[in-house]
Amino acid sequence: MKARNDSAAPAVRLAQYTRPTWRVAHVELDFSLGIDETEVIARLDLSRDGDPGAPLELDGEDLELLEVLIDGDPVAPTRYTAGERGLVMHEVPDQFVLTTRVRIKPSTNTALEGLYLSGSREAGFLLTQCEAQGFRHITYFPDRPDVLARYTVTLRADARRFPILLAGGNPDGSGELADGRHWARFVDPHPKPSYLFALVAGHLERISHDYVTANGRAVELHIWAEADVIDRCHYAMDALVRSMRWDEKAYGRNYDLDVFHVVATHDFNMGAMENKGLNIFNAKYLLADPDSSTDDEYLHVEAVVAHEYFHNWSGNRVTCRDWFQLSLKEGLTVYREQSFSADMNSAALKRIEDVALLRRAQFPEDAGPLSHPVRPAEYREINNFYTATVYEKGSELVRMIAGSLGRTGFRRGMDAYFERHDGEAATIEDFLAALGDANGVDLTPYLAWYAQAGTPRLRGRGSFDPGQRRYTLHLSQETPPTPGHGAKQALPIPVKLALFASDGRMLPLRMQGESRQAAADERVIVLSHAERDFVFEDIGEDVVPSLLRGFSAPVMLEYDYAPTELALLLRYDVDGFNRWEAGQQLAALAFDACLSGEDAHGAADAWTASIASIFADPSMDDALLAELLTPPGEIELADRQPRHDPAAVHAARQQLLSRLAMRVGAGTLAARYATLFARASADLDAAAQARRRLQRRVLDLLAAMEPARAATLAARQYETAPGMTDRLAALATLARTDEAAAASRLAHYRARYDDNPLALDKWFMLQASLPGDGALARIQRLEADPAFNLKNPNRVQSLMGAFARTNPTGFHRADGAAYGWFADRLLQIDALNPQVSARLGTAFNGWARLVEPQRELARAAVNRMQAHEGLSRDLADILDRVVGG
């Protein structure tokens, strides 16, 4: 499919929302499926909703129109216009059945939006992806989420080439046709928007499970995949069953069809898709086996399976009125998914990982030119708004609101939301109103969080008055300007806090004006204005505040802690998240010391000493220790500097790691490594995962100090690894410590996993993230590998995405050569798949903060791409925003 040459398309604005003029009560779709050509007959029961005389306007792109009928009668071509964007018909009745017949071409659809082919012509299968606006590539329709219709879908296809036929809804008959074809029909009783439509057709195998919902419905669960990978779907089935039970318990939500299908594909633009009754997954988030998946991948499969399932209520039963409300379903569903994962695994670790992700992905997004509110006010291309801000920050907003209502209040509010808006297309205002009304509170102040971009800075300052036995915490907030939005308003910021005495005790918190009854030692205060003093009484000594416990609001905390104060929190804080956080802040101060070459306040010493003593503590949990041993990453650390100098940040962080290694001691590290290595197993329980996590960190630390010794251990670990987590970790350490020894293992891995695309992706990714000036040449060798393929989104992400996102020194080399190479590839990809090129294009978001000459060179690369003729709207939108065009 050619790139859409419509980069000048006008912006769509939230403020200009108008209700749909036409409703579709029922739609009947009839597909005659073929790889090169598919015919689609659509019968829409249309009725006018207001605006008499308004024409009928239906969306439709890349459709070959064959026939139009009104109430069964052919319509002369003079009565309609079929243009590039859709079909317009004047002088139509107020109520009628419109039938269209169109032809589409799945095999040339490289954008993977609409109906396309996954895999080869001979053996691959057909599938659809409609969110956000892919349905218009299948048939003419009002392709907007506030038009909800009931769907009846009939699929017809050659029975040998397409033995399995699936669409969303309950099965409603199937049979043979005279000409070697067969058919199957599906009826979905729940009205849904077009973006939730899906079909799949081809050779697929399945695993199944009989499930009975809490309210007594028998449901057949089927996971489908190609024959060679079907055995790797059992973990996903297990996760699906646990997700369904969890949603019944935690939210009282039951599944609502007789069947639920999940399908795996290797050709997918994103993670997965929650189509009603027929979820489609990128294989990366569905397949898992110990030999080829890491522990993190198991966690991702569990989380994404849950996420897509949870959408059945938060997104499908209650959908979005328009795409500006995207976070209504995505932020909420991420929050539900995070809560599920926290319940299934360690809640403290989960919180640490989620906040780390927010800081790694969302904070930089919000600090650069692509910054936008959780509910954007306008867009040129909606696919560019499936961002960390809409998803991850959106989830943090739900978490804040849930926290303010308490567990039972939030559940009461969610029940009210689902009840009130079931079968409707809702807004974020509706969500806040339902939650607020159910609890008798006004949540409208939180709307400002949805409307305002940028990460608020929360500044704190404490002062102790021994005479009055009083501690005053002064809090203030400020949100820096973001593109197009200078003036920022104060937001309600819930701050969960505790006060620590110097011996590590938490003090009772009685605030000024409160009675002397037993006071809690943790509480939440809300800063609603630009600044305020919070006064705590009966405080007999100076204290160290533990602020924003559990990361109670998505802000950057600026509190001028002395290294000794952070060391105290790192030692005593019982909030698992804040304990880790104290370590991160101390590590960041230690990093500053390494970068500047001066450690006037002894931060590096305080951090390494604290971590070394925790390391020696035998009661310490392996998983938390692994996290504590890991300082913030290069991207986060670079964000602390006024100018981003990737090479300097990398060197200073390496120095920080080697200082820590020296403090702990090579002997101690090697001894701990030996103990962990001796316990190696392929088990998947939490203890085994924690062991692997810690073993990896310990080996990496050793590598920072004694690379040769670490390389020997890594080589042995690669040879003996019982599963992928240990194998891949060993390979990564080896590749950083001994290039020659790594080369033979990389070749071995390449051959061993030649027929496993997901394992090969990791092979590309690992090498793409190796730092330094040699990275570009390595990448260029890798793209010559026969397994590299510009058409496959996973492969492109694992080479180019990993390079641009996880390899700052390699990507930002000072001669700009990597930018030039990247831009060339981006243009090639853009002609095939605009969603993928646009996503990669966001790698330039931070260009303006780079040091020279990188800053100028990055801008030049962006400008060169902008000048390219035929750029897609997707990529043009990203590039224009990146350079403020």
Sheet holding 457-465, edge to edge: 510-511, 531-537, 470-478, 457-465, 556-559
Decide which of Zn ion, ligand B3K, none touches 323; Cβ closer than 5 to 8 Å per partner kind.
none
- Binders in 321-340 for ligand B3K, by CB under 6 A: 330
Closest CA to 167 of 249, 85, 263, 248: 263
- 273 touches, from Zn ion, ligand B3K, none (C-beta below 5 to 8 Å by class): ligand B3K
Nearer to Zn ion, 304 or 586 (CB): 304
Q: Does 260 bind ligand B3K (CB under 6 A)?
A: no
Question: Nearest approach, Cβ of 131 to ligand B3K (angstroms)?
Answer: 4
Which of Zn ion, ligand B3K, none binds 131 (CB below 5-8 Å, type-dependent)? ligand B3K
- Binding span for ligand B3K by CB under 6 A among 265-273, 438-446, 468-476, 766-774: 265-273
| Total site size for ligand B3K, rule CB under 6 A | 12
- Concatenating the DSSP letter of every residue in 787-840 gives T--TT-HHHHIIIIIHHHHH-HHHHT-TT-HHHHHHHHHHHHHHHH-HHHHHHH
Quick check: is 308 catalytic? yes
Q: Does 874 bind ligand B3K (CB under 6 A)?
A: no
Rounded Cα distance between 542 and 549, Å, is 20
Q: Which residue from 59, 274, 302, 830 is in contact with ligand B3K, where contact means CB under 6 A?
A: 274
Closest CA to 260 of 299, 310, 301: 310
Q: Which is nearer to ligand B3K, 109 or 346 (CB)?
A: 109
Instruction: Give the nearer residue to ligand B3K in terms of CB position, either 311 or 350.
Output: 311
59 forms part of the interface with ligand B3K (CB under 6 A): no
Other Cβ atoms closer than 10 A to 78: 6
Q: Is 386 in the site for ligand B3K (CB under 6 A)?
A: yes
Which one, 394 or 492, has the nearer CB to ligand B3K?
A: 394
For 877, the enclosing helix (H) or strand (E) is helix 873-882
Q: Which of 89, 272, 332, 352 binds ligand B3K (CB under 6 A)?
A: 272
| Active-site annotation holder among 308, 565, 627, 706 | 308
Interaction residues for Zn ion, span 713-732 (CB under 5 A): none
If you search the block for the tokens 């990275």, which residue do you land on?
A: 775
301-340: which residues touch Zn ion (CB under 5 A)? Answer: 330, 333
Residue 59 three-state SS: strand
Q: Which is nearer to ligand B3K, 336 or 653 (CB)?
A: 336
Stretch that binds ligand B3K, among 306-314, 481-489, 511-519, 550-558 (CB under 6 A): 306-314
Q: How far apart are CA 496 and CA 498, in angstroms?
A: 7
Residue of 273, 278, 475, 871 interacting with ligand B3K (CB under 6 A) = 273
Total number of residues shown for the chain: 885
Rounded to a whole number of angstroms, the minimum distance from the CB of residue 386 to Zn ion is 9
CB of residue 856 vs Zn ion: minimum separation in angstroms? 38
Q: How far apart are alpha carbons 36 and 117 in whole angstroms?
A: 9
The residues in 766-785 that bind Zn ion, with binding defined as CB under 5 A, are none
Q: Does 270 bind ligand B3K (CB under 6 A)?
A: yes
Q: Among residues 28, 59, 131, 302, which is the contact residue for ligand B3K, using CB under 6 A?
A: 131
- The entry of ligand B3K, Zn ion, none near residue 839 (CB within 5 to 8 angstroms by kind) is none
Q: Give which of ligand B3K, Zn ion, none residue 28 binds (C-beta under 5 to 8 Å, depending on kind).
A: none
774-798: b (≥16 Cβ within 10 Å) or e: ebbebbeebbeeeebebebbbbbbb
**Residue 512: other Cβ atoms inside 10 A:** 11
Q: Are 82 and 58 in contact (CB under 8 A)?
A: no
275 near ligand B3K (CB under 6 A): no
Q: Taking Cα atoms as reference points, which of 178, 224, 167, 173 lies closest to residue 40?
A: 167
Q: Do residues 725 and 694 make contact, with C-beta atoms less than 8 angstroms apart?
A: no
Report how far apart, in Å, the C-alpha atoms of 865 and of each of 33, 453, 823 are: 38, 27, 7
8 Å CB contact between 473 and 462: yes
Q: Name which of 425 and 746 has its Cβ closer to ligand B3K.
A: 425
Q: Compute how many residues bind Zn ion; rule: CB under 5 A.
A: 2
- HEC-encoded secondary structure of 839-855: HHHHHHHHHHHECCCHH
* Least distance (Å) between residue 241 CB and ligand B3K: 19
249, 569, 572, 580 from 575: Cα distances, Å = 26, 10, 9, 9
For ligand B3K, the binding residue among 192, 266, 284, 307 (CB under 6 A) is 307
Give the interface segment with ligand B3K, choosing from 79-87, 198-206, 271-279, 418-426 (CB under 6 A): 271-279
DSSP tag of 507: P
Residue 503 is inside which H or E element, if any? none
User: Do residues 627 and 580 make contact, with C-beta atoms less than 8 angstroms apart?
Assistant: yes
Of 140 and 310, CB closest to ligand B3K: 310
Give the interface with ligand B3K as residue ranges (CB under 6 A).
Answer: 131-132, 270, 272-274, 307-308, 311, 330, 383, 386
Catalytic residues: 308
* Residues forming the site for Zn ion (CB under 5 A): 330, 333
